[in-house]
Each structure stands twice: as C-alpha cells, then as structure tokens.
C-alpha cells in the first residue's frame, strides 16, 4: 500500500499547536476535506497519521512532513488546496506526493535560530558563538526520561554538521545544520550552551525556524 506524504509549513499562531494537537488537527482536517485516509483498527478507530520529526511548540517551520495513506482515487495535486481550505490559520500544505525515500534517509535539519537583543547585539557575539561551536567537544546536560538522575550528558559538536553566523544590528542569526535523528539535536540545547558558556551573549528572546530537511549529502529530502 502506498504511503503519502504532505509537505507543509507551520507558522504564526499555528506555531503554538503541540505535536499531538497537530495530529488531531490533521485527522479532522482530512474528514472536513472529504479525503478518506486509512484508519486504525480497534474499538476507537481513528484516522492514521504520523509526523516523523515532531516540532517543538513555539518553533516555526517551512518543511514539515506528515505521512498518511489516502484511500480511493485521489488526484494528489488537488490535495493541498482541499486541505488548506479547512486547516487552521498558519498551517499551509504545499505538496502531496507518494513516499519514495524511507524516513531513515532524513539525516539533517537546517534551522535558523534568531537571537534577539533588546539593546543591540553585544560586540563580537558572532565570533564568540562561532568559536564555541567550533570547539572539539561541547558537553551539556540534558533532561532524560531514562536516566535515574533525570539528566544525561550529550556532546553537541558531533551533532552539528554546519554553522554559519550572521550578526545584524539587534539580532544574531545562526544558520545551523543539525543531525535529525538517532540521535538528533534540538537547537534549544545549543542555546542553553550559549547561555551557560557565554553569559554576555545570552539573548532576550529567541526564535527557532526549521528551514529544510536534508539527506546525508545535504540535499533536500522528501
């Protein structure tokens, strides 16, 4: 049976919809759009959808992926329009296609992390951060459900594939390519490291944006 994928973006108010709520939102949207998809079995059958790389609440994204199985004869080109008509504000489906490559080939995520400073970016912050992320190793503590202490240590450096930093008047933009899975790296941890190691570079506010999902040769994965 063919698996279908939706490529969609999640911005503005929709940034604050959590992963589980987003799945529910899509399940209902398919029904509103009159698109039949495969259901789970059991006492409470519900539309089966899955999102391979859950996005943290508050992050925006231009490259989300949802998997489902559309039933019956459907012209895939009409799916984005049909869904967009019934989705909440801030979620926009760009494309619906048959899945070819397996999810495990999704290796990297490109994030744009914007550090905002109310009174202007401190001088030299960009080079400081560049240096920090260029170290041989950068071990941070991370919450863990498995570890008894509730925390575990993780070295960020092997999980960072590319870094490019640009400083503007009151913002610093980090263009990061991070490992996506097994294990993946949440850019929040990089922020924590900056706050810890470079207190003077700690921003007043941060936004996280997922720009692209990539394969192991840094080409767009879909």
Partner 1 sequence: MNRTLEHILPRVQKPARYTGGEYNAVMKDRSQVDIRVALCFPDTYEIGMSNLGIRILYGVMNEMDRVWCERVFAPWGDMEAEMRREGIPLYGLESGDSIADFDVIGFSLGYEMSYTNVLNMLDLAGLPLRSEDRDGLSPLVIAGGTCAFNPEPLAPFIDIFSLGEGEDVTVELIELCRKAKEECWTKEELLIAAAQIPGLYVPSLYEVEYKEDGTIASITPTHGAPAVVTKRIVQDLDKAYFPTKTIVPSTEIVHDRVMLEVFRGCIRGCRFCQAGYAYRPVRCKKPETLVKQGIESCQNSGYQEMTLSSLSTSDYRRLLDLCDGLQEWCDPNGVSLSLPSLRADNFSWSLMERLQHGRKSGLTFAPEAGTQRLRDVINKNVTEEDILNFCRTAFAGGWSTVKLYFMLGLPTETDEDVLGIADLADKVYRVWREVTPNRARGVKITVSTAFFVPKPHTAFQWEGQITREEYERRVKLLREHMRGRSTVYHWHEADTSVLEAVLARGDRRLADLLECVWHKGAKLDTWNEYFSYDRWVEAMEECGIDPAFYACRQRDKDEILPWSITSTGVSPRFLWRERERAYEGVITPDCRQQCTGCGADKLYPNGVCDAEC
> Which residues form the interface with partner 1 (CB under 8 A)?
12-14, 16-18, 20-22, 24-25, 27-32, 39, 43-46, 57-58, 86-90, 205
> Judged by CB, which is closer to partner 1: 91, or 109?
91
Q: Which lies closer to partner 1 via its Cβ, residue 11 or residue 53?
A: 11
Residue 108 vs 208, nearer CB to partner 1: 208
Strand order in the sheet with 160-167: 91-98, 4-10, 60-68, 205-214, 108-116, 171-179, 160-167
> Given the complex with partner 1, which of 18 and 186 has the nearer CB atom?
18
For the chain, the three-class secondary structure string (H helix, E strand, C coil) is CCCEEEEEEECHHHHHCCHHHHHHHHHHHHHHCCCCECECCCCCCCECCECCCCCCCCCEEEEEEEEECECCCCCHHHHHHHHHCCCCCCEEEEEEEECCCCHHHCCEEEEEEEEECCCCCCCCHHHHHHHHHCCCCCEEEEECCCCCCCEEEEECHHHEEEEEEEECCCEEEEEEEEECCCCCCCHHHHHHHHHHHCHHHCCCEEEEEEEEEECCCCCECC
Q: Min. distance of Cβ 52 from partner 1 in angstroms?
A: 21
Choose between 18 and 192: whose C-beta lies nearer to partner 1. 18
Cβ–Cβ < 8 Å for 5, 67: yes
CB of 174 to partner 1, least distance (A): 17
Q: How far is the CB of 207 from partner 1 (least distance, A)?
A: 8
Closest contact distance (angstroms) between CB of 157 and partner 1 is 26
Residue number with CB closer to partner 1 (118 or 136): 118
Residue carrying structure tokens 């991070």: 178
CB of 5 to partner 1, least distance (A): 20
Minimum CB separation of residue 170 from partner 1 in Å reads: 13
């Amino acid at each position: 049976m063919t698996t279908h994928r939706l490529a969609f973006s999640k911005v503005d108010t929709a940034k604050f919809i959590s992963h589980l709520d987003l799945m529910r939102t899509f399940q209902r949207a398919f029904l509103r759009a009159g698109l039949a998809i495969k259901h789970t079995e059991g006492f409470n059958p519900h539309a089966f959808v899955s999102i391979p790389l859950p996005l943290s609440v508050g992050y925006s994204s231009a490259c989300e992926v949802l998997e489902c199985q559309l039933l019956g004869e459907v012209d895939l080109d009409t799916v984005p329009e049909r869904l967009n008509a019934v989705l909440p504000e801030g979620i926009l489906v760009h494309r619906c296609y048959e899945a070819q490559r397996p999810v495990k080939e999704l290796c990297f995520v490109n994030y744009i992390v914007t550090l905002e400073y109310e009174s202007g970016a401190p001088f030299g912050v960009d080079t400081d951060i560049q240096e920090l992320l260029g170290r041989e190793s950068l071990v941070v503590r991370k919450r863990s459900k498995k570890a008894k202490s509730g925390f575990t240590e993780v070295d960020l450096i092997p999980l960072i594939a590319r870094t490019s930093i640009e400083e503007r008047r009151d913002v610093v933009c980090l263009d990061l390519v991070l490992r996506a899975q097994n294990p993946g790296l949440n850019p929040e941890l990089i922020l924590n490291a900056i706050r810890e190691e470079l207190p003077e570079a700690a921003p007043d506010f941060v936004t996280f944006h997922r720009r692209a999902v990539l394969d192991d040769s840094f080409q767009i994965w879909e």
